[in-house]
Amino acid sequence: MIEVKSIEKIYSGKVVVNIPELSVAAGEAVGLVGNNGAGKTTLFRMVLDLIRPSKGEVYSKGINVAKSEEWKEYTGSHLDEGFLIDYLTAEEYFKFIGDLHGLSDGDITERLLPFMDLFNEEILHQRKYIRDFSKGNQKKIGIAAAALSNPELLILDEPFANLDPSSQIRLKNLLRTLREQKRMTMLISSHDLSHVIEVCERIVILEKGQLVQDMQTNENTLKELETYFTV
């Protein structure tokens, strides 16, 4: 589904991402972990063609994302609140995203149903603009909008950040369901090691822009990651 080939991103002469090769198969859920500044967001931005690599390419279903629009049809993403439109209500934003994908109002309502627990009656029918929601609730709106089109590929940057504990658990279960029922391919970065290993079958560790470990999750993964990150 995704192939990263010899990519490098350089800012002010400093290499912030340098990944010779990374492949993500269709249906695979990959968690990206790494300390602050490791390059996770920069990698996602290159996968989504929001920034161009200094060197190398990213391919989605075999097509260079920088040279095609096709991947936008089957890719949903939420990296940060910059993806939202502040002067819309949550309903208006879902309609805006739904229209892009040719969804009817009925489709949108139906596809938001699995999010109702996560929304906790604080998102819909609030008569307020996205800019006036809390950071956590803005994140919930962004994640739901990213998943609205039932994308084949879902890319989320730190989806658990800013969420309260109940919401984190609800989101974790929701992502697992999306993965299992829709066979969504997922790329998820997170500082929450326990949640990310419960959602993802594979964990990639980035350190100073380099891919230093690539492992399948099993019952020992949390311990291994905690040991890795204990300095």
In the bound state with ligand ATP, the residue whose beta carbon lies nearer, of 30 and 112, is 30
Beta-strand relationship, 29-33 and 55-60: unpaired
Q: What letter would DSSP give residue 193?
A: H
Does residue 172 interact with ligand ATP by CB under 6 A?
no
Rounded least distance, CB 43 to ligand ATP, Å: 7
Site mask, ligand ATP, residues 5-44, x = CB under 6 A? Answer: ------x----x-----------------x-xxxxxxx--
In the bound state with ligand ATP, the residue whose beta carbon lies nearer, of 11 and 87, is 11
In the bound state with ligand ATP, the residue whose beta carbon lies nearer, of 31 and 98, is 31
Q: Enumerate the β-bridge partners of residue 64.
A: 59
Count of other CB atoms within 10 angstroms of residue 35: 13
In the bound state with ligand ATP, the residue whose beta carbon lies nearer, of 42 and 77, is 42
Phi, psi of 79 (to 5 degrees): -100, -45
- Number of residues engaging ligand ATP in binding (CB under 6 A): 10
Residue 170's Cβ-side half-sphere holds a number of Cα atoms within 13 Å equal to: 15
Rounded least distance, CB 189 to ligand ATP, Å: 7
In the bound state with ligand ATP, the residue whose beta carbon lies nearer, of 15 and 222, is 15
In the bound state with ligand ATP, the residue whose beta carbon lies nearer, of 9 and 202, is 9
Rounded least distance, CB 9 to ligand ATP, Å: 7
- CA 223, 226, 230: angle at the middle one, nearest 5? 140
Tell me the CA distances in angstroms from 20 to 29, 31, 90, 195, 219, one per residue in order: 20, 18, 40, 28, 29
Alpha helices in the chain (DSSP H): 40-47, 90-100, 105-112, 116-119, 135-147, 165-182, 193-199, 221-229
Rounded least distance, CB 200 to ligand ATP, Å: 16
Rounded least distance, CB 38 to ligand ATP, Å: 4
As a whole number of angstroms, the distance between CA 199 and CA 179 comes to: 8
Per CB under 6 A, which of residues 72..111 are in contact with ligand ATP?
none
Beta-strand relationship, 202-207 and 185-189: unpaired
Rounded least distance, CB 105 to ligand ATP, Å: 36
Contact residues toward ligand ATP (CB under 6 A) are 11, 16, 34, 36-42
